[in-house]
């Protein structure tokens, strides 16, 4: 009897769905303006993950479980990110329509900014090169202005088999156990 209860409990546990994050990928246009290590073929690409899909008709801050953005020269992710701000608006279908995303790394001071919420929207990536004597200096970077990028949602994939598969397996195991019990009893 204990074995049957153990099998039933295991079936309940294994039939629960595994949770996977929803990922939003971003690809921006090539930079129109650039200097330093940046070139005309650089652009901002990256992604961020959230525990649940961003709901339709949403406007506000989004808390990410992971992110990584690259501007062709640098990569800023949750591993080295210092200041992170994700302000997202979605339409009635849950598609990202407006966004203001700023990720900053502290050492060296760098930032990647994606924005299509204001009149001067665009993608920006910059490395600040400091003069040791004055502790200030120019920002070397790239920009694409008035050319928004595009987000695409990668739906979460549930890797757990459907509960009916476990139920079928469990019933088969219960049958084998009961036959073995009768045979050795």
Is 144:29 a contact under the CB 8 Å cutoff? yes
3-state SS class at 20: coil
Mean pLDDT of 47-59: 93
CA dihedral 43, 48, 54, 59 (to 10 degrees): -60
Whether 162 has a pLDDT exceeding 70, the answer reads: no
Residues 6+ apart with CB under 8 A from 145: 32, 33, 120, 121, 122
> Which alpha helices (H) appear in 114-154, and where do they start and end?
none
| Helix pair angle (2-14, 163-184), 10° resolution | 170
pLDDT band of 155, cuts 50, 70, 90: confident
Whether 83 has a pLDDT exceeding 80, the answer reads: no
Structure confidence at residue 163 (pLDDT): 64
Tokens of 177: 């156990």
Whether 13 has a pLDDT exceeding 60, the answer reads: no
pLDDT band of 19, cuts 50, 70, 90: low
Mean pLDDT (the chain, rounded) = 75
Domain extents in the chain? 1-18+162-185, 20-157
Tokens of 100: 């203001």
pLDDT band of 135, cuts 50, 70, 90: very low
**Half-sphere CA count of 131, side-chain side, radius 13 A:** 5
Whether 87 has a pLDDT exceeding 60, the answer reads: yes
Whether 22 has a pLDDT exceeding 60, the answer reads: yes
CA distance 29 to 42: 8
Structure confidence at residue 50 (pLDDT): 92
Whether 21 has a pLDDT exceeding 70, the answer reads: yes
Q: Highest-confidence range of 17-21, 31-35, 44-48, by mean pLDDT?
A: 44-48
In percent, how much of the chain has pLDDT > 90?
15
Structure confidence at residue 63 (pLDDT): 92
Whether 6 has a pLDDT exceeding 90, the answer reads: no
Whether 34 has a pLDDT exceeding 90, the answer reads: no
CA dihedral 11, 15, 18, 19 (to 10 degrees): -130
Lowest mean pLDDT among 25-34, 130-139, 151-160, 163-172: 130-139
């Amino acid at each position: 009897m204990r074995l049957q209860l153990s099998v039933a409990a295991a079936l309940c546990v294994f039939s629960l769905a595994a949770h996977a994050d929803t990922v939003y990928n971003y690809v921006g246009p090539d930079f129109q303006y650039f200097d330093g290590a940046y070139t005309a073929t650089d652009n901002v690409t990256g992604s961020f993950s959230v525990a649940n899909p961003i709901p339709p008709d949403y406007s506000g801050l989004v808390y990410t479980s992971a992110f990584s953005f690259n501007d062709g020269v640098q990569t800023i992710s949750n591993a080295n990110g210092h200041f992170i701000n994700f302000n997202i608006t979605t339409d009635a279908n849950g598609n990202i329509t407006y966004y203001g995303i700023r990720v900053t790394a502290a050492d060296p001071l760098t930032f990647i900014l994606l924005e299509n919420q204001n009149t001067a929207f665009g993608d920006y990536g910059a490395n600040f090169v400091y003069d040791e004597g004055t502790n200030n200096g120019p920002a070397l970077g790239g920009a694409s202005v008035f050319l928004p990028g595009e987000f695409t949602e990668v739906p979460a994939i549930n890797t757990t088999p459907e509960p009916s598969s476990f139920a079928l397996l469990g019933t088969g195991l219960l049958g084998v156990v009961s036959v073995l019990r009768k045979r050795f009893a």
